Structure 1
Amino acid sequence: MTKQPTFFLSHGGGPWPWMDGEFRQAHAQLEASLRALPASLPERPRAILMVSAHWEEAAFTVMTSPRPGMLYDYGGFPPHTYEVVYPAPGDPALAERVAALIEAAGLPAARDARRGFDHGAFCTLAPMVPEADIPVVQLSLRRGLDPAEHLAVGRALAPLRDDGVLILGSGFSFHNLGLMFNGRGKAPSIAFDAWLQAALPDPEGRAGRLEAWAQAPAARQAHAREEHLLPLMVAAGAAEGEAASCSYHETDYLGGLTASSFRFG
């Protein structure tokens, strides 16, 4: 199999792929980038490992169900969005290999047979693989949100790429709900995005820059809490030493925010 790249994806707001009107239209550029992603891959992935900002556990925890359900981890949206289904199969054998790789790296791993796909996973996957015919395994973040640990878990998982597994980190390049809808997020989103655009492409020293992300311009305005940034660390760690490029970028998300996604490898 051909080695797969990795991605950090901005996943948008709530269940946007199942909505209409202005909120759906606000995601048009993001949707176009996600729809185009499969054609950019060297070959069709045999499976997807999804690291979502919306799952944190005491240990890195992997979803082991062969038929994952749905977790509607959002509020205030139309009733039909609490009935949507993304019926991708799981892959218990891949899940066990993920846990074994994490443990072999000296990091804590756990298994969860009941967890369903959260919206960080299914709202990203629905435009990418609408047929839901690629197996998906979801992996949690680890509480404490240590960037070095998440870079390390990415390094541990890098061998999966040679076996046709596409590693996706699903978060958001700007995630501060207090600033997102009132216009106050425009300037910090521009400043932090500019830092990402400069910090990510060159792999030389990238890990150190990411470990010190909180020192970047407007860092804590862009991420008052860093759970939506940590999937980036996993994607970058799994492609250490490889160049990165911006795969999605816009400057008017939700009326003025700058948002981006990145490809590694």
Structure 2
Amino acid sequence: MMPSLFIAHGAPLLAIEDNQYTQFLEELGRTLPRPQAIVLFSAHWEANTQQVSDVDEYSTIHDFGGFPRALFEIEYPAKGDHELSKDIQELFSAHSISYNVHPERGLDHGAWVVLKMLYPEADIPVISMSVNPRLTPAEQYEIGKALSSLRERDVLVIGSGGTVHNLGILSMHDDSDTVDEWALEFDAWLEQHVNGWNLPTLFDYEDKAPAASMAVPPYGNEHFIPIFYAMGAADDVKEAKLLHRSYRYRNLSHSVWQFG
């Protein structure tokens, strides 16, 4: 059965860099079972009602500024999958989850940066999905859980975001190996409770996790919550494995989790 994944998409620069994290993601794409399709929840698509894409071919959204021109020249023309989109809509209806179908939106960098490293040929159909930071973690988990049966059809579910992602306190000019202690403490707490699939504690991370307000600022929790969608998609197995963790700019976490 296909696992689900949580993948940190880091800064957009990853798309044109060669480092230990980009090399890991490229190797991951070669070693994972090849999926028939990908369903990806991106931190950069926020909506109050769950959005489900239904397109023929995606445009590439360059939703950032101040980066090298080479980033703006990247295109990732993945195809959609109308049948899979319809199946997702039926699953949401069966689980009483409200949704809207989006027939036009392209792939934002939370999606294409990750997909380009995993599957550079853009030859696997993709369904792009929104996230809703205003839901409770339990509700976000349930949305992922509604899609768990897709894994039996070799559909790869990905949550794209970042476990420690606070742009206000990054040190973009410090790309050394130094990591802020509070970031390490938060990720260590998360690892403990994800490995134990301790949902009540995880869902209450804002009050229980060390340095939660720094790792997951209230204005930026959209990057953390994709982990709940990805975990929910593996609710039938409830197994977790940390595949990779490294840091940039003192506290930007590059974590990859496999579930199921």
1:260 is matched with 255
Structure 1 window deviating more from structure 2 (28-37 vs 172-181): it is 28-37
2:103 is matched with 113
Matching residue within 164, 183, 186 for 1:189 = 183
Instruction: Provide, for residues 96-138 of structure 1, a one-character-per-residue CA deviation record: whole Å limited to 9, x for no partner.
Output: 2112212221111111011000000000011110111111111
Cα shift at 1:255: 4.6
The alignment status of 1:249 with 2:245, answered yes or no, reads yes
Q: What TM-score comes out, normalization by structure 2 length? A: 0.91
Question: Quick one: which amino acid aligns to residue 234 of structure 1?
Answer: Y
Structure 1 window deviating more from structure 2 (184-193 vs 55-64): it is 184-193
Q: Return the alpha-carbon distance in structure 2 between the equivalents of residues 70 and 258 of structure 1.
A: 25
Distance 1:207 1:55, change over 3 A: same
The alignment status of 1:9 with 2:4, answered yes or no, reads no
Distance 1:145 1:181, change over 3 A: farther
1:199 is matched with 193
Percent identity between matched residues is: 35
1:21 is matched with none
Q: What TM-score comes out, normalization by structure 1 length? A: 0.89
1:147 is matched with 137
Matching residue within 213, 222, 235 for 2:215 = 222
What are the residue-to-residue correspondences of 1:43-62 with 2, within 5 Å? 43-62=33-52
Question: Quick one: which amino acid aligns to residue 175 of structure 1?
Answer: H
2:118 is matched with 128
Any gaps of 5 or more consecutive residues in structure 1? Answer: 19-23
Give me the CA root mean square deviation. 1.8
Cα shift at 1:165: 0.3
- Please state whether the residue corresponding to 1:111 is helix, strand or coil: strand
What number of residue pairs does the alignment pair up?
Answer: 252
What are the residue-to-residue correspondences of 1:154-165 with 2, within 5 Å? 154-165=144-155
Q: Return the alpha-carbon distance in structure 2 between the equivalents of residues 175 and 160 of structure 1.
A: 29
- Kindly indicate whether the alpha-carbon contact (under 8 Å) linking 1:246 and 1:263 is maintained by their aligned counterparts in 2: yes
- Please state whether the residue corresponding to 2:146 is helix, strand or coil: helix
- Kindly indicate whether the alpha-carbon contact (under 8 Å) linking 1:33 and 1:247 is maintained by their aligned counterparts in 2: no
Instruction: Provide, for residues 217-249 of structure 1, a one-character-per-residue CA deviation record: whole Å limited to 9, x for no partner.
Output: 111100102100111001101112421011111
Any gaps of 5 or more consecutive residues in structure 2? Answer: none
- Kindly indicate whether the alpha-carbon contact (under 8 Å) linking 1:190 and 1:258 is maintained by their aligned counterparts in 2: no
Instruction: Provide, for residues 82-107 of structure 1, a one-character-per-residue CA deviation record: whole Å limited to 9, x for no partner.
Output: 23100111111111211221222111
- Please state whether the residue corresponding to 1:153 is helix, strand or coil: helix
